[in-house]
Structure 1
Amino acid sequence: MDNRLAKPEGRVHKRTISDQQKRRDIALKRQSQGRRDLQHHARQLVSLAVPPSSSSVFEEHGAVTGHQEAEAIDIQSSESSVFGHEVDVVAEKVEGWHGDQEEDAIGVVEATRLKGTKAREWFKHQFMIPEWMVDVPSHLRKDWYVMARPSGERCLVVSSNGTTVSRLRNGCIRHCFPSALPNGSRTRESIAASQVFCILDCIYHEPQKTYYIIDMMCWRGYSLYDCNYEFRHFWITSKLEETGVLGPTSKFHRYQFSIVPVFECGKAGFQAAYDGDVPFERDGCLFLNRHAHYVLGVTPLALLWKDPVSSRYHVDTDRIGNVPAYQQIVLELQDDGTVATCDQPGVVLGSMPQDFLLKNKEHLQAGMLLKFTIGDKGLSILDGKPVTADIHYQGLANRFRAGADSVSKVLFQYAARHCPLAFSDILAAIEASDDEMDI
């Protein structure tokens, strides 16, 4: 029986344990069994984040805008002589999507010696990436927070050695500037406090020149990576308010910092995050499990959800803002010619024809990001997992892109076009969660 357009699990029968719910349970169990020593990791990350030359720049120019990479461009047209024609990808059966395997150890010591492109490649893996919500978690009111996600660029903001630097998800520097963050500007106190640094997870909202803080990983040199989100959120609100970081901008501190309101995920909290008054353009809702540590990479303990009310871009658009006729996805080319998502391990959705790879071996190499469309046969989904995919090669992906799509994004965008997870579905799950708590 073809179940491509079947309503994804978790819409009506909430008691069904979905694949995403299994990964959530595994992620919580894993983090309770062992704690990572990320204090050293944080120090090495800071040494990479802040360019050695930035202090002298501030001495000469004060608050400056650091180098910003050019807007990402689609280079498919420039490669049309090689990639201009559509190539059908072999639809493969996907087996063994196990999102519960340990991530590879990150060589932070080796990373401190990296420069340029290699440093940026390493740095882009320092973010916690939410899965897209393909089913509604259980115990929403008890275990989850929700916030309105600001529209803008995701950035890692690091203050150290009298400098504040923000980096995009692709590892490139967005801004270099002095800030009121501890050790974020050139003062006598900062010169003396070489071990003081901060690491924040932010979204930069260009119209307001504001960094909206959604998470905190280090504060004054103290690592919060292994603290649960509930504690991290408490530190965000208490520490930033008491140190004056949230004050108005000035000629020296030209970028504003602001805290995104966070609500417990009851009916009132979800409604406020969904369509309540916010000072920024909303781009969906972000759900965070209160027990979740700050995990590097894709995690099911943070979830992103969008619909037409909460986001202008709930369905992916092209460069000029139009929704393509066919869903577009980006996958990474593997050594064996298969193409996979960014998950660990990646989910293989197909393979490139070997004759085409041989013909273009100088242009197509393992690790490259390739763009595909999902054809009329769509995805076949079984027990919340993709089984087959009708994908067609379109060309090279944007060369400034941070990485391939996650499988949850592929599934969410597919559902958004056929049978979306609606606001009413989440609200019904919250009500069911409330009933469970009353028993």
Structure 2
Amino acid sequence: MEEQLEDLLASSLAVSDASSRLSQYKFKGKSNQEKRRRECLERQKRGRMDYTSVARNLAEVEPDQDVEMTTKQKSRGRYYKDHLMLSEWLTEIPDDFYTHWLFIICPVGKRALVISSKGLTAAYTRTGYCLRRFPSALPGGSKRSGFTAQDYCILDCIFHEATRTFYVLDIMCWRGHVVYDSEAEFRLYWAKTKISEVESLSRLRPSNPFRFLCVPYAECTKENLAVQFKEEVPYEVDGVLFYHKEGHYCPEVTPLVTWIQPQGMKETLGVDATDAFLQSRYKALTLEELQVLGEKAIVSEPSAMETT
């Protein structure tokens, strides 16, 4: 109970204090990032983890039931805890920054691990609590659309409640095809391709009460960096994530993904962010969208003690 109260308090502070949101996907790393990046890339080449088992275990747990945990699992926290990749602060420009890196402009929201399996979709916080359970147009995400044992997906998202939107940052599994060990450049491309193939994911309806939209990504060329931060984007900006193209998805803190706030881009990268970009805001749902959902969008929402 004490742990739940602590998490609930942390959640309430995150709403009012922008700085506390940083812990959701950012970690202040030590210096010598370049050296540790090389070490991470070397470890990737030497050995691969069995992420197929990891994905299958996450998908096989009944999302609408409490998880029966072992003593070891209880000692390290909740079952869905620590399954998201965390970045470090960008403290030094990588030597290969303009040739081997990609960037994503991140919206303000709550980091979420989204799993669709066995006809239901569930979203979990970084600390393992369930945010929402609901039907979705994701493969395996709704009983109405039908599913097989291989129809399960695992996504890394940012959830914005007011616009009922999950912004997809990364993809770890789609229809049972696991891509943890794939390079970031492929994963981001694949996420964009797969999400766009299912048109109903971007539309609100009772069978898909939350939208799934891919956050655009681009290469870290000097031309892209000079242009991308000049115009308004369709959401409030929290910061910018940088992905090394060859980095795998590892559920831990990694120097192969770094983070910077927009206000620090001038000092660190020599890039000016305009007022139009910095003042970007979410657009409220239209009356038509709300009417489509109506009272038919029945969503299983955990109690307040479960949310963080």
Q: Scaled by the length of structure 1, what TM-score is found?
A: 0.51
**Distance (whole Å) between structure 2 residues aligned to residue 229 and residue 272 of structure 1:** 23
Which residue is equivalent to 2:225? Answer: 270
**Distance (whole Å) between structure 2 residues aligned to residue 139 and residue 162 of structure 1:** 43
Which residue is equivalent to 1:337? Answer: none
Q: Secondary structure at the match of 2:229?
A: helix
The answer to whether the Cα contact below 8 Å between 2:102 and 2:243 also exists between their aligned partners in 1 is yes
The answer to whether the Cα contact below 8 Å between 1:146 and 1:273 also exists between their aligned partners in 2 is no
Which residue is equivalent to 1:88? Answer: none
**Distance (whole Å) between structure 2 residues aligned to residue 203 and residue 196 of structure 1:** 22
Q: Secondary structure at the match of 1:123?
A: coil
Cα deviation code 1:202-226 (max 9, x no counterpart): 0001221110000000000010000
Cα deviation code 1:417-439 (max 9, x no counterpart): xxxx54253148xxxxxxxxxxx
Q: 1:268 to 1:208 in 2, by over 3 A?
A: farther
Shift of 1:278: 1.6
Which of 97, 113, 118 is equivalent to 1:161?
Answer: 118
Which residue is equivalent to 2:8? Answer: none
Which residue is equivalent to 2:78? Answer: 121
**Distance (whole Å) between structure 2 residues aligned to residue 203 and residue 263 of structure 1:** 18
Q: 1:295 to 1:226 in 2, by over 3 A?
A: same
Which residue is equivalent to 2:184? Answer: 229
Which residue is equivalent to 1:426? Answer: 269
- After superposition, residues 30-45 of structure 1 pair within 5 angstroms as 30-45=43-58
Which residue is equivalent to 1:23? Answer: 36
**Distance (whole Å) between structure 2 residues aligned to residue 26 and residue 279 of structure 1:** 37
**Distance (whole Å) between structure 1 residues aligned to residue 138 and residue 209 of structure 2:** 13
Unaligned runs of 5+ in 1: 1-17, 54-110, 309-420, 429-439
Question: What is the identity, as a one-letter code, of the residue corresponding to 1:423?
Answer: K
**Structure exhibiting the larger radius of gyration computed from Cα positions:** 1
- After superposition, residues 385-400 of structure 1 pair within 5 angstroms as none
Q: Scaled by the length of structure 2, what TM-score is found?
A: 0.72
1:209 aligns with 2:164: yes
Which of 197, 200, 203 is equivalent to 1:248?
Answer: 203
**Distance (whole Å) between structure 1 residues aligned to residue 62 and residue 97 of structure 2:** 36
- Please state which structure has a larger fraction of its residues in helix: 2
Give the alignment's Cα RMSD to 1 decimal.
2.3
The answer to whether the Cα contact below 8 Å between 2:158 and 2:169 also exists between their aligned partners in 1 is yes
Aligned-residue identity in percent: 35
Shift of 1:112: 6.9
Shift of 1:280: 0.9
Which residue is equivalent to 2:103? Answer: 146
Q: 1:174 to 1:211 in 2, by over 3 A?
A: same
Which residue is equivalent to 1:436? Answer: none
Unaligned runs of 5+ in 2: 1-30, 272-308
Cα deviation code 1:375-426 (max 9, x no counterpart): xxxxxxxxxxxxxxxxxxxxxxxxxxxxxxxxxxxxxxxxxxxxxx542531
Residue correspondences, number: 240
Q: 1:423 to 1:165 in 2, by over 3 A?
A: same
Cα deviation code 1:2-52 (max 9, x no counterpart): xxxxxxxxxxxxxxxx61111111101110111222101111122347234
**Distance (whole Å) between structure 1 residues aligned to residue 227 and residue 159 of structure 2:** 22
Which of 277, 285, 300 is equivalent to 2:240?
Answer: 285
